[in-house]
Structure 1
Amino acid sequence: MKRLMTSMPLILLLGLLVPLSAPTVAVAAGPAVWIQNAADRAYYTSPQPQDAATAVSLHSARNEHEAAQVLVRSASAQSAVSLQAGPLTGPGGAQLLASQITVTRVEQHSGVRVIGGDSETLPAGSPPGVYTDALIENSPIDIPAHQTRPYWYSVHVPADQPVGVYRGQVTVKSSLGDVSVPVAVTVYDVTIPPTNRSSFKMNNWFGSAGWDYTGTEDSITYQYGVQKFDPNWWKVMENFAKNHAKHRNNVIYADFQALLIANTTIAADGTYNFGWQTFDRFVQLFIDQGALQYISTPHLLEPPPGDNTVQLPKLLEMLKNDGTGKVRRELVPVNTAESTAYLHTVFAALKAHLDQKGWSDRFYMAALDEPVNTPQLTQANWFFNIYKQHFSGSSYKTVEAHNHALFGSEHSELEGLTTSATPETGLYDFSTAQYQDLRIRGKELWLYTAIVPQDRYMNRFMSYHLDKTRLLPWLIWKIGGVGYLHWGWSYWERSQTMDGGGSNGGDHWIVRPNKPALDVYDSIRSEAQRDGLEDYELLNLLKASKPVAAAAIANSLITNTTEYTRSGADVVDRHRQLLQQLSTQRPDLRFPYADSFGAGGDQSWVHTVGNWSVSNGSYVQTDATNWNTVSALKGRAYGDVVMTFDAKIDAVNSGGGNTNWIGAVVRGMNATDVDTGYLVAVRNNGTVFLYRSGKELASAAVPGYVPNAVTRMKIVAQGNRIKVYVKDHPAPLLDVTDTAFRTGHAALVTGSVAGRFDNVVLNPEVNRADGKVVTATNSITDWGWSPYGLTDGRNGTTAASGGFSTEALPQASKQSVTVDLGAPGPVSRVDLWPRDDGANAGYGFPEDFTIQTSPDNSTWTTQVTRTGFANPGGAVQSFAFPSATARYVRVEATKHRVEGPGGNTYRMQFAELQAYGGNLAAGRPATATSSYEGDGWSERNVTDGSWMSILQHSMGWSSNTDTGIQHDEAVTVDLGARTTVNKVALTPRTDDLLGAFFPSSFVIETSPDGAAWTVRRTVTGQARPDSIEPIPYTFGVADDVRYVRVRSAGGLRPEGSEFRMQFAELEVSGP
């Protein structure tokens, strides 16, 4: 069940998929027409789905391209089929002009090499090796009966386009009758930077002059019938430049040596007179079209002629006298007096010219392609050592694509001579720790694909799912990368480029020559690649203000390099969510989580290795054979977070024995490894350690560790500081400052052990005092009492962790204890937990005291005053007050209570202090009259901190009593303690069924005990929400509230024949 309305008649379901105000689809005796997203491939054999959309609905930033596919099919043959697009009209009469809209037809190709491993399954009736790819002219065509033709409807939104919804239509013209398709484009108040100011570096190698001087250079003359550097050749290059600007290919592949040949001479004495006219014209062409941000020159070390082994030493490309004073390219031995002198000469001239043009900081140098052995790496060292004598600082940039080990101890010299790491994705996957360490130490991290990787890795082969091409920039963003290199933008080695995709199934090219126009035909892959590059820019924009939301959205699509969605519809949906997050003023997401694994399964977790299950009140992993056995919280992310859990090693692998370990990862990039983020674990020999990307940052012995016993662990990640507490020790055993990872997933991990976890709690600043620094005018550190005990997350008093206590005091002395919350933020409730150890319960709790807040530890405001406060016993005492912005919370007592019954010693004692503000329902348990538990719906997800509706991850809560008639449902949140509230905010589901099942009539009720309820607000006639923003419902200030309930009052809103109540998020706050 995907949408929780499976019994709905199909015609009603179709209506829910389009905006409510969209024009009605014209009814005509024409062909069947339906809409498919632009991230899934459509075929000539694609049947019309039963639930197909019939209107185009696009969501776009400014300076972005967005597209959908319009599919046309009929049981009868049809002729003169084409699409006709008109302008779209928006707010205040603003328009998206017809010139911003393009319609092309998606062409199919036969003879495509199918790359094995994870190719897309063709629709029934498809011939083998036939895939769609090229985008060609929208000229009238004939369509045979029972065949489909996809059309690509694309809209470019200018950077200055007014925000709003633009509506119009596109008309399918056919001999069977015309069909009008409604179009709606929502333009958000978000602007993507232009191509030449991108945060991503896209290097698609293309043919022009030089490179290999055969296939790449000759392909232009061969395909277009032009001669190098004649007017039509330059016209082809101009159109290449326009296409690069349009598709965000901002690293221009320019062979500076090849472009020197036409204008360079050598004097009789051997002096080079380098002529830069052709090089300058070429570079300026791409600058003028807005494409060029960086220049990348081809590698200058080439294999000797006839080397089919790729193992032989390379030769240097050198410009030598052709006998007439002009120059030609020759290959000469490396590291000779001649070749060394030449490199000094040409690099000095290149640097001087780039400086003159202001291009030095844009230039990337390459030595050799895919080095495979030590002799070749030694040649690269020679090359870069010379280059570095002429280029330095910001002008020294290198890019080396490689599919064999390029770095490491045996290649340390080359590591120091390169500024980027550009591994093939599979190589990165195999050596994640190494490449992350290189990134952390300052190298740019790029990924590279060619004919490899294959299998389950992302690549842009024609037989692969189309979304793999789009997701590559997402993956690069997730791993902290900044660039992507592919060698085959236009390696047109065959005359007929409309058949197949080159000899390697799409590896050789992503565009095709449009010969009459001296231009190129785009492809659905080139469009998908651009969409991914635009997504990358949106992710970076969102990361700047909401890093957790950006990471969570990416995590919901990609688990690791081989585990990710194959659904383009999912990717399009997350693109919309990026825009929604960027355009709303709501704060960053927080994902509080708590699980004692008392019942149910592990549907909130994702894992690919190990045997994970919920059993006997624990989360159990029984496979001791792997050291990298990870289960991560699915589709969530964390920045500053306190993670607490109990861990127990049940059995160790004989390999490693008691040095094997159990623990957790915070801020990870890939949800199934320990080489990104911070791994905190305890070995069965009692050593706790902190590991990051191949390096152990810290370790310590755990006092009193008992092998195979339950060990409580706590990780406090705040800013650049990671603190680790183990068992009940009041001070952190590890305290490390590190800047490598700021946001990412949270996971439980075993390393060659079988083990179990329990009482897992992730607190992303919900209880703002958790794990924070405590200072006091007076305190003891003994018998389980310590300042840290006040915020250690334990609400009870035990011999090992009592909480906070002062020394013995006069009854009337003034004493205070202060918690530094780390940063200013809202505080509206402080919970004080008394000691609860038997007969001593409630003793030590002060009689006269105030609770104060401060933004700076200097100016204090009294929020709560109590005198003659009775012994509270062991129950938590909650103190609510109007929300204040505070970094510090202080409890100041002026009259103390004896520390035990019959005692005469006075102390101030608390088991725990907690501070809350903002949404008091965040992370709190919810119960409901009924609940659908699946596909991302759950009682717990209505307070999970995410208002984004993401199928299979977090949709929120949905009732599950589908009687087909009107009835009542309710959802209740336990705030954890009695407090003061005056507002409930309800967020509707925010996916493509925005606002569905939001009740039309309901009541908001509160209760101190879950038994006696008071109606605080009655809502009638609530319209179906048409916005992602939360709907606030305020009421008079209600004190002494622990439970908040939203109950339908005969107001379930039906969708078709179903009656349900759904909320993406329920929030509660006070005055």
Structure 2
Amino acid sequence: MNWCVYDDCTWTFPDSPRIGAQTVQLDAPRGGHAAFQLLAAPPAGAGRCRLSFRWETPCTLDVKIFCLTPVTVNENTSPSLMTTLNYDSCRSYVTRQAPFDVYDALIPCSSDGTAEGDAFYISIEIPPDTVPGTYRGVFRAVWGDTAAECPVCCQVYAACVPAAGKGALSMLNFFCYDNINAQHHAAEGSAEWYRLMRLYIRAQLEMRCTHILLPAGRPVFCDGRLVDFDFSAAERVVQIAREEGAPCLCGAHIAHWSEWTGAEYYPFWDETTSVTSQEGYFQLRMYFSAWARIIRKNNWQNCMAQALADEPQVHNASTYRILAAICRKFLPGIPILDAVEATDLGGGIDVWIPKLDTYEKNRQVFDRLKNAGEKMWFYTCAFPAGNAMNRSMDLPLTVSRALLWMAARCRLTGYLHWGFNYYIGEDIWHSACCPHKGALLPAGDAHIVYPGSGGPLRSVRFEAQRGGAEDCELLYQLMKSDPDAVGALTKEVCVSSTHWTADGTVLLSARRRLLQRLG
């Protein structure tokens, strides 16, 4: 039987060659993970296979086995905005011409070790107390009398990745609460809804998110008049998040602009009342006062941040600072964080999160803020499209991981993406480009997990982002003793938002030398 091993920084496809490398050499830090993919060509009609992993070296390393599941990329990332079917316009930076299927979704192997399919993702999790050394094992996939038996050698280094929230890197992925009902048909507030909520929070933490975005307070009306806000859903979510070990929490956005070029913001619950009006102030006072009571009652002050309005920019920067001043009056000491498109928000924000290209265009100002002691993260989303770093499914898989190498290269201490589970459309399995305002978002931009029958399913991009976060923590450790080495290593992987390696072996080689430098 033919089969082939692939690394975890390279996309695989249903038509990828099943002939090639048949041994695995992994490098891993303690507290982190290492992974590989195996694609086989079993005999026709072979049916279900039986999967197993056996360590020949005594150890406590945990092995997780997933079945790779194809997802359809229905359009390519456009060179300018959103998506395109004009392959000639994007062929220089995408992996394939759309539509095509790519292995992105990961379905855990069943408890009895059997699975459908012929494509697998194997992740080895390294406990932080593992003794550094060489560990050998064998992955085995059997169809009837036919088997693929793959020797695995995992070199564990002394370098240790700290637990999320204990190191240098912060991470936040926006979460869509409505999609628990929309995709899993679980009524909000039901036992099943909260069970799924726990699994989604757990998935965010497994991807090394440090901040969990909470649901907003809901307006309470009496005879058509706003009288209060209900934060019971937020309280329950925080309870679950804290039980699951979430280091930090983030209060939900409360306002938005109606026009991109408009100067005003409007509360989500009243799109006709501006936040700078007298009525707007009284509504915001009611919201933040109620939220402050909840925070104090539960003693969340030291783990809470607050988002206000997504992407303030030059047209509404002054209004944003007024909104921030109102927030600070009622939530003193709670840091404000938001994705930003402007540089003139000083005093109104504590954690600046510019898009990566926005940071590069205004680097002199942002670096001045950073050097003065302001916290500086970055974010990516559907914009800009084209040859720009993002975790789109038609870009090389290296980009999803290299994004966090870019964080270390630019001395940025956090990463934000809006699309954790914003599943849009009826069939994301065959339409990874989700509809948005009459167009399509780049493939996978809206989600990095999939709605499985029992809860969220990881993606290959999820694993790549998790690996990048681990790498970033190690790069920050090396920066303390040898910042020049960090500059040289990251330069091999990524130089800017538009210049990075598409070769997984280049990234993994740089990672190996990073581990060696750390001991």
Report the TM-score range of the alignment, normalised by the length of the smaller protein: 0.7 to 0.9
Give the equivalent residue in structure 1 for 2:407: 476
1:443-842 map, 5 Å? 443-503=374-434, 504=441, 505-514=443-452, 516-517=453-454, 519-583=455-519
TM-score (ref. length: structure 1): 0.44
Give the equivalent residue in structure 2 for 1:668: none
3-state SS, counterpart of residue 79 of structure 1: coil
Cα-to-partner distance string for 1:92-123 (whole Å, 9 max, x where unaligned): x3343xxx21211222222432113453333x
Whether 1:120 and 2:94 are equivalent positions in the alignment is yes
3-state SS, counterpart of residue 371 of structure 1: coil
Give the equivalent residue in structure 1 for 2:23: 55
Whether 1:136 and 2:84 are equivalent positions in the alignment is no
TM-score (ref. length: structure 2): 0.88
**Distance in structure 2 (CA, Å) of the matches to 1:422 and 1:377:** 14
Contact 1:80/1:173, CA 8 A, preserved across alignment: no
3-state SS, counterpart of residue 241 of structure 2: helix
Whether 1:429 and 2:360 are equivalent positions in the alignment is yes
Contact 1:87/1:168, CA 8 A, preserved across alignment: yes
**Distance in structure 1 (CA, Å) of the matches to 2:309 and 2:170:** 20
**Distance in structure 2 (CA, Å) of the matches to 1:346 and 1:400:** 19
Query: How much has 1:385 moved relative to structure 2?
Result: 1.4
3-state SS, counterpart of residue 130 of structure 1: strand
Contact 1:465/1:566, CA 8 A, preserved across alignment: yes
Where structure 1 has 5 or more consecutive residues not aligned to the other structure, the ranges are 1-30, 144-148, 209-216, 319-328, 584-1071
**Distance in structure 2 (CA, Å) of the matches to 1:86 and 1:485:** 35
Where structure 2 has 5 or more consecutive residues not aligned to the other structure, the ranges are 79-89, 435-440
Query: How much has 1:426 moved relative to structure 2?
Result: 1.7
Identity %: 23
**With CA pairs under 8 Å and 6+ residues apart, which has the higher RCO, 1 or 2?**
2
**Distance in structure 2 (CA, Å) of the matches to 1:33 and 1:310:** 55
Whether 1:294 and 2:294 are equivalent positions in the alignment is no
Letter in 2 for 1:384: A
Query: How much has 1:165 moved relative to structure 2?
Result: 2.0
Whether 1:242 and 2:173 are equivalent positions in the alignment is no
Contact 1:254/1:297, CA 8 A, preserved across alignment: yes
Contact 1:134/1:521, CA 8 A, preserved across alignment: yes
RMSD: 2.7
Cα-to-partner distance string for 1:930-965 (whole Å, 9 max, x where unaligned): xxxxxxxxxxxxxxxxxxxxxxxxxxxxxxxxxxxx
Cα-to-partner distance string for 1:184-209 (whole Å, 9 max, x where unaligned): 2222223211124242111111112x
| Structure number having the greater helix percentage | 2
Contact 1:252/1:295, CA 8 A, preserved across alignment: yes
Query: How much has 1:438 moved relative to structure 2?
Result: 1.6
Give the equivalent residue in structure 1 for 2:124: 155
**Distance in structure 2 (CA, Å) of the matches to 1:187 and 1:513:** 33
Contact 2:4/2:17, CA 8 A, preserved across alignment: no
1:80 to 28, 47, 52: 47
Query: How much has 1:312 moved relative to structure 2?
Result: 7.2
**Distance in structure 1 (CA, Å) of the matches to 2:338 and 2:34:** 33
Cα distance 1:275–1:55, how it changes in 2: closer, same or farther (>3 A)? same
**Distance in structure 2 (CA, Å) of the matches to 1:32 and 1:506:** 31
Query: How much has 1:240 moved relative to structure 2?
Result: 0.7
**Distance in structure 1 (CA, Å) of the matches to 2:71 and 2:369:** 42
Give the equivalent residue in structure 1 for 2:438: none
2:236 to 281, 284, 294: 281
Cα distance 1:256–1:553, how it changes in 2: closer, same or farther (>3 A)? same
Letter in 2 for 1:120: V
Contact 1:467/1:568, CA 8 A, preserved across alignment: yes
**Distance in structure 2 (CA, Å) of the matches to 1:270 and 1:314:** 18
Cα-to-partner distance string for 1:19-77 (whole Å, 9 max, x where unaligned): xxxxxxxxxxxx2122111011011111246xx43112222122212110112136x53
Cα-to-partner distance string for 1:496-529 (whole Å, 9 max, x where unaligned): 2211223221111111101x21x11111111101
Cα distance 1:63–1:265, how it changes in 2: closer, same or farther (>3 A)? farther
Contact 2:263/2:319, CA 8 A, preserved across alignment: no
Contact 1:347/1:390, CA 8 A, preserved across alignment: yes
**Distance in structure 1 (CA, Å) of the matches to 2:143 and 2:226:** 70
Whether 1:109 and 2:71 are equivalent positions in the alignment is yes
Cα distance 1:543–1:355, how it changes in 2: closer, same or farther (>3 A)? farther
3-state SS, counterpart of residue 223 of structure 1: helix
Contact 2:76/2:98, CA 8 A, preserved across alignment: no
**Distance in structure 2 (CA, Å) of the matches to 1:285 and 1:443:** 31
Contact 2:50/2:115, CA 8 A, preserved across alignment: no
Cα-to-partner distance string for 1:1022-1063 (whole Å, 9 max, x where unaligned): xxxxxxxxxxxxxxxxxxxxxxxxxxxxxxxxxxxxxxxxxx
2:32 to 64, 84, 104: 64
Give the equivalent residue in structure 2 for 1:887: none
Contact 1:78/1:174, CA 8 A, preserved across alignment: no
Give the equivalent residue in structure 2 for 1:337: 278
Give the equivalent residue in structure 2 for 1:378: 318
Letter in 2 for 1:134: A
1:311-390 map, 5 Å? 311=262, 313-318=264-269, 332-374=273-315, 376-390=316-330
Cα-to-partner distance string for 1:390-416 (whole Å, 9 max, x where unaligned): 344xx34222213x4x12xxx4xx222
**Distance in structure 2 (CA, Å) of the matches to 1:81 and 1:580:** 41
Give the equivalent residue in structure 2 for 1:221: 181
Contact 1:85/1:101, CA 8 A, preserved across alignment: no
Larger radius of gyration: 1
Cα-to-partner distance string for 1:346-399 (whole Å, 9 max, x where unaligned): 32343343244332233222332223452x22321220111222344xx34222
**Distance in structure 2 (CA, Å) of the matches to 1:441 and 1:82:** 58
3-state SS, counterpart of residue 66 of structure 1: strand
1:911-990 map, 5 Å? none
**Distance in structure 2 (CA, Å) of the matches to 1:205 and 1:360:** 21
Cα-to-partner distance string for 1:470-517 (whole Å, 9 max, x where unaligned): 011110111110111111111112222211223221111111101x21
Query: How much has 1:540 moved relative to structure 2?
Result: 1.6
**Distance in structure 2 (CA, Å) of the matches to 1:176 and 1:32:** 14
| Structure number having the greater strand percentage | 1
Letter in 2 for 1:53: A
Letter in 1 for 2:168: S
